[in-house]
A = this chain, B = another copy of it.
């Protein structure tokens, strides 16, 4: 009651942006080069893309802004998955150094609302950053130590992705508009970290009704050309899924 018991924290959104290219699941990170007064060599600093939420934005909008400023893309799959607010978030010297260069009050607490985004890594045109700040795709197996609690956030996102991909048809968001069944399977195998049976995978995907088979096929491959498919987005927009092997809430089952 009575008076305000807290100094208001900063609120930011951080985006865990997944992409898939060269058979590898990748994470989009901000790579910063920060002068170190002591060593005279620049420190390299990786962090999740993020920014403070502005007065006129809701949380989704702030996350979308971060995403589109970085990739030039709009209408991307973006989902909030958790908020983090450890009062002791800024403990690493590098983090402090960077905050001091960027904020008036580097000691202020930051609460972050974390989002997971799935994009076609080939479609994203990374916006040119300054020489000291650029966006890079790193394979998720090579994610280095990140700023603040970003490693924890990333681990949580990865876990959320793994669960989500088995319940909702979101894998497509990581692929180009047209893709082959093998690409799709390889994507699922990567995310789930296990092999899947080719015939069973095809059967389930086709029965689920989320794929539209195209007449187009691969060209210029030195083996039997694969058929292309696209994802039936309409299903989820005007959710009349009565005739499909989809549950009413838009979920579908894959691999118990």
Contacts and interface: CB of A to CB of B under 8 A. Distances in A.
Contact of A83 (B51, B55, B83, B104): B83
A256 B84 CA distance: 32
B83 A58 contact: no
A102 B57 CA distance: 25
Q: For the complex formed by this chain, how many copies does it contain in all?
A: 2
A9 B6 contact: no
Interface in A110-150: 111, 113
Contacts of A163: 249
A56 B249 CA distance: 40
Contacts of A10: 4, 6, 8
A11 B111 contact: yes
A230 interface: no
Interface in A79-111: 80, 82-87, 102-105, 108-109, 111
Contact of A3 (B11, B84, B104): B104
B85 A54 contact: no
Contacts of A105: 4
A33 interface: no
A48 B56 CA distance: 25
A53 interface: yes
Contact of A9 (B53, B108, B253): B53
B103 A53 contact: no
A103 B104 CA distance: 25
Contacts of A9: 8, 11, 53
Interface string A56-68: 1111000000000
A5 B52 contact: yes
